[in-house]
């Protein structure tokens, strides 16, 4: 693995099932491989914020775009930046 490569493990799970009065409760953890850095979260956006903080790469988001689309653009931009370094 290259020294400028950072790897992360993302785990998500359902903590409580949905019923007619309440939606499912999802939880998760994101860990940076090879370090003790990790973040437990209830909002997936916080996981991406953690990755941004660890890599220095920013994901541009606005209210008109989904987090998935923003993330895919972030991955594409990060790949482009890496290829030209």
- Enclosing domain of residue 13: 8-83
* Residue 37 domain flag: yes
Q: Is the pTM above the cut of 0.75?
A: no
* Residue 2 domain flag: no
* Residue 1 domain flag: no
Segment 22-64, tens digit of pLDDT: 777 888 999 999 999 999 998 878 888 898 888 887 766 555 5
Segment 53-79, tens digit of pLDDT: 888 877 665 555 566 666 666 666 654
* Residue 76 domain flag: yes
26 three-state secondary structure: strand
* Residue 77 domain flag: yes
Give the DSSP per-residue string, 48-80: HHHHHHHH-PPPP--TTS-HHHHHHHHHHHHHH
Q: How many structural domains comprise the chain?
A: 1
* Residue 3 domain flag: no
C-alpha radius of gyration, the chain, whole number: 15
């Amino acid at each position: 693995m290259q020294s400028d490569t950072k790897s992360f493990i993302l785990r998500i799970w359902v903590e409580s099932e949905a019923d007619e009065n309440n939606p499912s409760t999802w939880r998760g953890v994101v860990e940076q491989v090879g370090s003790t850095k990790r973040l437990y979260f209830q909002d997936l956006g916080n996981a991406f914020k953690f990755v941004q903080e660890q890599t220095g790469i920013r994901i541009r988001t606005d209210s008109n775009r989904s987090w998935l689309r923003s993330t895919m653009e972030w991955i594409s931009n990060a790949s482009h930046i890496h290829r030209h370094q």
